[in-house]
Amino acid sequence: MMINFTRSEELKSHLIESKKKLKLRFLPFFFFSKTSNAINAGMFYLGIYMNTATIEILNKDEQFAVLDHELGHIKCWKSDLTLLLYLASPIFFIAYLLSRNYIICLYILPFFILFLILRIFMLDYIVNMKLNAEFAADKISAELGNSHGLISSLTKIENYDHKKSSKIVLIIIKFIYWFYFSNRSFYPSISERIKKVREYT
């Protein structure tokens, strides 16, 4: 999967302006695009990426709305950090266990135990945290003046047929969803998100 730094000066300028409005100006963000048929964007450490389909299919207002949504996740870093630790701790623990680096495993063990506690006893809490994190990021994007672009981009995402993954990939994704969320709906539907965005305006 090829990754390129985006050449869109408009997106870069908007990113810088939104960072200032959200008082995130001192964080070292970088911005890049990666080739994919899906309309999608996300965070990668302290960076933000957009799939090429997002840049090619969405107009500028919609791209700005998506970009500000990702900045919203960084602004609400506490809940997203908790989710990141929840998602990452079993991966790191198993990886270091297989590498036989037992000293590092001991450092990661408390996080892995926390993961098990959350997974077994507090899964509803984690699922609700994930749902609320998406709504919170949408709200920040809307407050930055992107309500129309956000609703428009969500509508395009809903109508865009990008499900071209192989059966093996879909099986792996389904297993990952089961492992972390027990097949619970941890992501709000497009209609729920659009309804919330309209409430914010």
Residue range of the domain that includes 63: 3-200
Distance CA 26, CA 73 (A): 16
Q: Are 14 and 33 within 8 A, CB to CB?
A: no
Distance CA 55, CA 123 (A): 35
Question: What was the pLDDT predicted at 85?
Answer: 87
Question: What was the pLDDT predicted at 117?
Answer: 94
Per-residue DSSP letter, 51: E
Whole-model pTM: value is: 0.83
Per-residue DSSP letter, 4: E
Mean pLDDT per 10-residue section of the chain, whose length is 201 residues: 58 86 73 69 72 84 93 85 88 91 91 93 92 94 94 88 64 86 88 92 75
Beta-sheet strand order (sheet of 31-34): 3-5, 31-34, 47-51, 41-44
Structurally, the chain folds into a number of domains equal to: 1
Distance CA 29, CA 80 (A): 17
Question: What was the pLDDT predicted at 173?
Answer: 79
For residue 37, give both structure tokens. 């048929």
Centroid of chain to Cα 188 = 12
